[in-house]
Amino acid sequence: MFGFDKKKVELVAPCAGQSVALEQINDPVFSQKMLGDGVAIVPEAADELIIAAPATGTVKQLFKSLHAFVICTEEGLDILVHIGMDTVALKGEGFTALAAKGDKVTAGTGIVKVNAAHLRSKDVDLTTPIVMSEKKQVASVDVARPGPVRAGAKLAVVTLA
């Protein structure tokens, strides 16, 4: 009745950087939450990034271009991690898979390696949204305060519907 018994899933930062609200990123599909609620990370200025699973679960989908992946948690929550803006157009250039569809992973397990220096040389915005892609699964997303975040640090708590 009051939601005290609703399940919660804790999300961790998939990489180090700056946590920002979805509304602040430069892509209306994410900033207007068309794909679901969540949070974004502006990755640190490293030459290479490892983008990790934000929660324990199974790699449900690893896009062919490696620019995005979906983790399905034990609770059935689908979490989409989209690496950068408009990166699907790169057709996998600058991305290396570290996991495969069907792999069971824990929060913090590397999923995709990113040649960030190469992508930045092409003026790619590496802001990485983490969204709950199945809106009907989610009652609320409580995001930790915006600002600097370490890889693996608590990023948000999702309350399931």
Out of 82, 87, 107, 130, pick the active-site residue.
82
* C-alpha span between 110 and 91 (Å, rounded): 20
* C-alpha span between 27 and 136 (Å, rounded): 22
CA distances from 87 to 39, 91, 129, 137 (A): 18, 8, 12, 27
Neighbours of 148 (CB within 10 A): 11
82 is catalytic: yes
| Chain centre to alpha carbon of residue 156 | 11
| Residues classed as catalytic | 82
